[in-house]
Structure 1
Amino acid sequence: MLRRFHSLPGLISALFVLLIGITGALLSINPALDRFRTSLPAGVSVAELADRVVRQYPGVEQIQRTPSGSLIVYYSAPAGPGADRVDPVSGKAIAPFVPSAYARWVKQLHRSLLLDTPGRVVTGITAVAMLVLCISGMLLLVKRVGGWRQVIRPLHGSRSQRWHAQVGRVAVAGLLMSALTGMTMSAATFGLISDGMQAEPDFPATTSGGQPKPVARLPALMAADLADLRELVFPSPGDLSAVFTLRTRQGDAYVDQATGAALSFRAHSGVREAYELIYQLHTGEGLWWLGLLLGLCALGAPWMAVTGAIVWWQRQRAKPRIAGNSTAQAAGTVILVGSENNSTWGFARVLHDALREAGQRVHTAPMNQFPERYDHARNLFILTATYGDGDAPASANQFLTLLDRVPANHATGYAVLGFGDHQFASFCQFARDADAALQAHGWRRALDVATIDRQSTQEFARWGDTVGALLGLPLKLEHTPQHPRTFSLCLRERVDYGLQEQEPTAVLRFAAVPASEPASLIDRLFRRNSLPRFDAGDLVGVVVPGSPMPRFYSLASSSRDGILEICVRKQTGGLCSTYLHGLQPGDCIAAFIQPNPQFRPASGKAAVILIGAGTGIGPLAGFIRNNTGKHPMYLYWGGRNPESDFLYEPELRNYLSDRRLTRLHTAFSRVENGVRVPIRLMEDADNLRTLIEHGGQVLVCGSSAMAGSVRLALDAILAPRNMNVRTLKASGRYREDVF
């Protein structure tokens, strides 16, 4: 519901938001330009300024001071009326004042779309839509990242989704202020609220009628500070009953031209002052620096309008199109899907098609369409993502309520598959909640709940093997989510370890494909024939020729190093690892980068504790390599045998020497009295407790089995301090990249 509440006004108002954002950004420059070409002297009274102006302009009729400080003199002369921008020190003309037709056109386009009253109505409605978009968008972001404390953490999703949310969280404060102030000004324009402008001072019934004094000697003008001036209107020449009209920041008054007394004065009301503040906050006039900030935020509006429309279109394209979908009552197998952004539907479609090819009658639907009866179903599969901090995704937010009304079918066995990201503390939590709820309602569990980390195609294929064994069917599940366009990499260097082992390891270093000719300006601007941007800990997707499924490897380098480095163990029967181990220097591969911003050390001086085993050392070595600030870093790493596969040994020794690595703890399992990483952690428990108590963060990379044993060890180590891995995860101080 919240997503619809955000998307609907966004789609309806996208064009107007884009237009008003661009024009607002253009208008925001004017107050700054006005301010920088104006310098008001301190301590000058209105009387002094008026005297200087009268000496230069005998026919002066009016002096106006803009909110940014410029002084405009309107006068009559034999050649006709005129207007000049004047120097407040001398009263002399700086330049003729000619309002910019372009600026006036942009302002009218911004305020009324050049359509007068109907246009003002539309812009007012657009301001309301912008307010709704700001609030709903922020709430969506908070749910997406798992709470207010995580709102500044790196974002996941497609490029359009990331940029939409990234720009939104930077610009939301300015856009929210512009929307609120714009709404208020629109309401005042149509008389829905008061702007306080109606209250004028009472015009004096009588004046002294005496001969006018020099303007420099009029007490009311002498008492008014130039910095507070808004407008001074001079009396008509020769009319002894005429008066000066003085408007200041504090209020308005009529001034006798003979005595200089304020004949009447009316202070601005609180409503007037509030409206003027709102006007300043919206336009930046008088607050030029705020105007520039709001202008930058306004540029985010058209960006978000475009990216928001792209995200919406991508979501529409990704909506499920299930072929051969049997009815719920006729199906022998039912697949229910919980998805927020439709990505889970791709996996469900693959399962649906594979089961149909195996001769099954299959019904696939959202979890929110859980029917009360399945007459023939013997298998129920639930594929669901988790939204935010363990919440149900959009298509499953009614499932637990519906489950209360559906009687358990003991003949139907169910299996739950969760999709999520290990970096979140509530990884696949809703899948676990759905599994627990089904079991509590008496449903028969056929398989333990399984999870898929970051849409891993390999994990999905392995789960398919398990399902096939359960059903007695040859089930092959291959699903390739949409990935970025690939680029070419050529192997520059390889370092091999454990060649005598059945599963050797290689460190592979790739470079960009060399250009055949000097790069053009376009090539340099768009980084063609060079490495894309990435950091250690990001993932590279390697596409094996003839295989639709990419395999992902954690990067041990950043693009600043000039190479793309991965550490690969050759797996028995492993398609991609065998392919990579067969490469020789000069061979090229197709690959793409998948950002993994959750897995990298946070900035700061607190100690970083790196824990890994086997090829999990790759990104950890990259973090140490980039530790040029020489912050405390401790590495706990496990291998098989120091004689054959002490990965990165020369580099680690160098890092210890130059203090990029503070301490190294190794654990080798295939030697006499061999040990594993958790034992090394327990041996250094006191030091680990101290480091973590003082803000230390933990990064773990390796197999899921290793990561599980590390969590148990750290829970035991931290128990005396009433801490555990879960509390560290909740504060962003425990991050994993496991496979």
Structure 2
Amino acid sequence: MIRALHRWPGLLALLLVTILSLSGAALSVFPAAERLAAPQAETKLTVATLADRIQLVYPGVEQIRRSPSGRITAYWFDQGKPGAAVIDPATGEGVASADPNQVERWLTNLHRSLFLGDGGRMAMAAGAAAMLVLSLSGAALVARRAGGWRHWFAPLRGPLAGRLHVEIARIAVVGLLLSSATALWMTASTFELLPDGGSPPAFPAAVSNGTGIALDRLAGLSETPVADLRALSFPYPEDAADVFTLKTDRGTGYLDQGDGALLAWADLTVWERVSETVYMLHTGQGAATLGLVLGLMALGVPAMGATGVQIWLAGRRGRPRIRNNQPAAGAETILLVGSEGGSTWGFAATLHAALTKAGQSVHVGPMSGFAPERYKRAERIILLAATYGDGTAPASAKGFLDWLNASERAPEIPLAVLGFGDRSFPNYCAFAEAVTSAAKAKGWPALLPLDTINRQSPQDFARWGRALGEVLGIPLELSHEPVLPTTKTLTLVSRRDYGAEVQAPTAILRFAVPRVSLWQRLTGSGFARFTAGDLIGIVPEGSAVPRLYSLASARRQGFIEIVVKKHAGGLCSGQLIALEPGETMTAFLRHNPGFKPGPSRVPLILIGAGTGIGPLAGFVRNNGRGRPIHLFFGIRHPDSDFFYVEDFSAWQQDGRLTRLITAVSRGARPHYVQDALRGEATQVADLVCNGARVMVCGGRDMAAGVADALGEILAPTGLTPAVLKAEGRYIEDVY
């Protein structure tokens, strides 16, 4: 519900909200510029002295105004001709034109009404309302993704667009809430939907009928500092019944021009003070610094709009269109999906189609949108939950476990959990297991025991479907055909071969980057954008399951590079190793935002063995700014599988690589990367204590040994690999 409330106002009102924010940001500069340009009155200067100075220069002065920025403007008549100027309070002389800034006026009309009068004001009010809804719902979504309000600034993972969207929102949401709420208040006031809240004092019925009192004898003027002045209106010449009208930060009063007596006074009401505060908060008039800060926050709106559209498009690409998807309130079966890359949504579509064919009413949605109060007719809830990284929630399941753990009791609707993962990973279906354990602890009734699907196996899925059908009392045959992303043909341009001497053929394969369309460039889809550490998926002939390989290159290098070792019986690796320059294969790109070095200048400790060196070599290759990188590389023998040996030498010479420490496992004294780490224990501990980021890539046995060695090295410091992972400073890409 919250996600939909955030998405649709954003998409529908994107142009309007963008105009509001950009024009508002531009207008926020003018109060600060006015404050800097306007001559300021000295602290002890009184209104009487100021008025006297101005009257000496401009005898026909009719009014003096002071803006919230401190700029003083005088208006007069000279021989029947009106005049106005910005005044230097030290001399009373005009120093600049009082004519309004035409650019500011144009921007103000655009910001308030799109140059369309009342209709435009209503349209911009709708934009402000949309911004308020976006800000409130966005804040709730940020808190959900971060794991609660207390973790507002917790580190993020996921695609760049999503992280950038949230990072900007974390900073800008306060300003956007303030700006949108005050804009709606001012619009309501403009259309007289709010009470006026105050009125000037009644004009005095009796005056002294005298004229010509010296200004310094007017106690109301001589006791009022210029800093409190808003406006002073002089009596009409030779009209003894007219008075001085004084407006200050406290209120409005009338002064007798004959004897200087205060004839009437009205303090500002509470409502007037609130309205003026709202005006100040929205425009920055009287609070130039705040205005600039709000203007900077408003500049985040176009960036959030662009990233929001990108997230929406990515979500539409990642989810298949599900026909006849029923509303949550009327569905008998609630099918919720937790997916990172999008493949689990395909299984959800297959299950939805089969259940619908069997006469069931089914609603499919993300686990992050779980809302049991909406499931009025639900008889069962089924969760299809993939696992991301080290057992954490995937993108479309953010916040589900937090909700479950925080709830007092689980729904009474029976639950079935189906986990998706890869048994070769140590955290196989860990998220699904965590959900199942939490549900059991809350007393959530089980429809089926936890089951798992290994490597997107259609056979496993069909087996589970038959079990579900037996429970439901309906025949249920799930025939799932994975829908793969759109692939591109890649042409091999060169290869470097290693490992033949130790019967472990390995090659560094370099492919040409395929052509991409203008739309792909704009949206970042296909092979339009990629960096080292991203993945390419290859579906070998004779199989429906893609194999993923880490990239050792970025788009700006102009080629796609991977490191492939031939495995005994390996279908995909065998086909890749057999490729010759000029031959082709088909592949798709999958971003891997969880395994990136980040833009920081803190040192990197890269640890890899065998083909795990691929993305690590890519990080070094892209290190044009000379970030300190310490690379630990495990090889079998220098003469057989020292991948990138020539490149490493060149990268050290040009400052891309600080240190290279190798560990040879097939030498006279077998040495592994974890042994190399222990040999550099002092420096490794110093680097980590000073903020270094550790990145590990390779087989799971190697990764486990590295974690143990690092735990021993850091034990005296009080740090552990688990603590570093929680801080986002220990990242693994393990296979």
TM-score of the two chains, using structure 1 as the length reference = 0.72
CA drift at 1:75:
3.7
Query: Given the alignment of the two structures, is residue 416 of structure 1 paired with residue 419 of structure 2, yes or no?
Result: yes
- Contact residue 410 and residue 439 of structure 2 kept, 8 A: no
- Contact residue 71 and residue 86 of structure 2 kept, 8 A: yes
Q: Secondary structure at the match of 1:600?
A: coil
Structure 2: distance between partners of 1:495 and 1:211: 102
Which amino acid is the alignment partner of residue 91 of structure 1? E
CA drift at 1:234:
0.9
- 1:352-406 superposed Cα distances (whole Å, 9 cap, x missing partner): 59999xx9999986588897699xxxxx994446367974389999999778664
Structure 2: distance between partners of 1:682 and 1:7: 50
Q: Secondary structure at the match of 2:642?
A: coil
Structure 2: distance between partners of 1:92 and 1:395: 65
- Contact residue 485 and residue 588 of structure 2 kept, 8 A: no
Which amino acid is the alignment partner of residue 674 of structure 1? P
Structure 1: distance between partners of 2:228 and 2:604: 56
CA drift at 1:560:
6.0
- Contact residue 552 and residue 617 of structure 2 kept, 8 A: yes
| 2:400 aligned residue (392, 395, 402) | 392
- Contact residue 25 and residue 296 of structure 1 kept, 8 A: yes
Query: Given the alignment of the two structures, is residue 735 of structure 1 paired with residue 734 of structure 2, yes or no?
Result: no
- 1:261-281 superposed Cα distances (whole Å, 9 cap, x missing partner): 655556656665454333212
CA drift at 1:68:
3.4
- Contact residue 380 and residue 447 of structure 2 kept, 8 A: no
Equivalent residue for 2:39?
39
Query: Given the alignment of the two structures, is residue 598 of structure 1 paired with residue 602 of structure 2, yes or no?
Result: no
Query: Given the alignment of the two structures, is residue 700 of structure 1 paired with residue 704 of structure 2, yes or no?
Result: no
Matches within 5 A, 1:119-518: 127=128, 129-146=130-147, 149=151, 151=153, 153=155, 156-157=158-159, 164-165=165-166, 167-185=168-186, 198=198, 200=200, 207-215=207-215, 218=218, 220-260=220-260, 268=268, 272-301=272-301, 304=304, 337-339=336-338, 343=342, 346-349=345-348, 352=351, 366=364, 382-384=384-386, 386=393, 391-392=399-400, 406=414, 416-417=419-420, 430-436=431-437, 449=452, 459-460=455-456, 463-464=457-458, 478-481=482-485, 494-500=495-501, 502-508=503-509
Moved more, 248-257 or 576-585: 576-585
CA drift at 1:79:
5.6
CA drift at 1:645:
0.4
Matches within 5 A, 1:646-725: 646-653=642-649, 661=657, 663-681=659-677, 688-689=684-685, 691-715=687-711, 723-725=719-721
Structure 1: distance between partners of 2:453 and 2:173: 38
Structure 2: distance between partners of 1:476 and 1:240: 96
CA drift at 1:67:
2.7
Structure 2: distance between partners of 1:398 and 1:291: 39
Distance 1:249 1:708, change over 3 A: same
- 1:41-66 superposed Cα distances (whole Å, 9 cap, x missing partner): 54554445434543554443222233
Moved more, 631-640 or 32-41: 32-41
Structure 2: distance between partners of 1:545 and 1:113: 65
CA drift at 1:309:
6.7
Equivalent residue for 1:634?
630
Distance 1:400 1:286, change over 3 A: closer
Structure 2: distance between partners of 1:32 and 1:274: 23
Equivalent residue for 2:615?
619
Which amino acid is the alignment partner of residue 640 of structure 2? S
Structure 2: distance between partners of 1:38 and 1:16: 34
- Contact residue 337 and residue 383 of structure 2 kept, 8 A: no
Equivalent residue for 2:6?
6
- 1:487-539 superposed Cα distances (whole Å, 9 cap, x missing partner): x9876654332245554333345676899xxxxxx99x9899xx966544344
- 1:380-435 superposed Cα distances (whole Å, 9 cap, x missing partner): 99444636797438999999977866499xxxxx852159xx9xx99965412244
CA drift at 1:731:
1.3
Equivalent residue for 1:61?
62
Equivalent residue for 2:94?
92
Q: Secondary structure at the match of 2:400?
A: coil
Structure 2: distance between partners of 1:307 and 1:632: 31
Distance 1:62 1:597, change over 3 A: same
Distance 1:405 1:600, change over 3 A: closer
Distance 1:85 1:361, change over 3 A: closer
Matches within 5 A, 1:534-573: 534-539=530-535, 552-558=548-554, 565-571=561-567
- 1:171-217 superposed Cα distances (whole Å, 9 cap, x missing partner): 3232122123335545666888778x626467666555444145477
Distance 1:591 1:259, change over 3 A: farther
Q: Secondary structure at the match of 1:611?
A: strand
Runs of 5+ consecutive residues of structure 2 not aligned to the other structure = 326-332, 388-392, 467-476
Structure 1: distance between partners of 2:407 and 2:523: 48
Distance 1:107 1:12, change over 3 A: closer
Q: Secondary structure at the match of 2:563?
A: strand
* Number of matched pairs: 689
Which amino acid is the alignment partner of residue 277 of structure 2? L
Moved more, 564-573 or 276-285: 564-573
Q: Secondary structure at the match of 2:118?
A: coil
Q: Secondary structure at the match of 1:637?
A: strand
Q: Percent identity?
A: 37
Structure 1: distance between partners of 2:208 and 2:529: 79
Moved more, 147-156 or 495-504: 147-156
Structure 1: distance between partners of 2:531 and 2:341: 28
Structure 1: distance between partners of 2:465 and 2:273: 75
Q: Secondary structure at the match of 1:556?
A: coil
Distance 1:198 1:637, change over 3 A: same
- Contact residue 631 and residue 660 of structure 1 kept, 8 A: yes
Equivalent residue for 1:518?
none
Structure 2: distance between partners of 1:55 and 1:200: 30
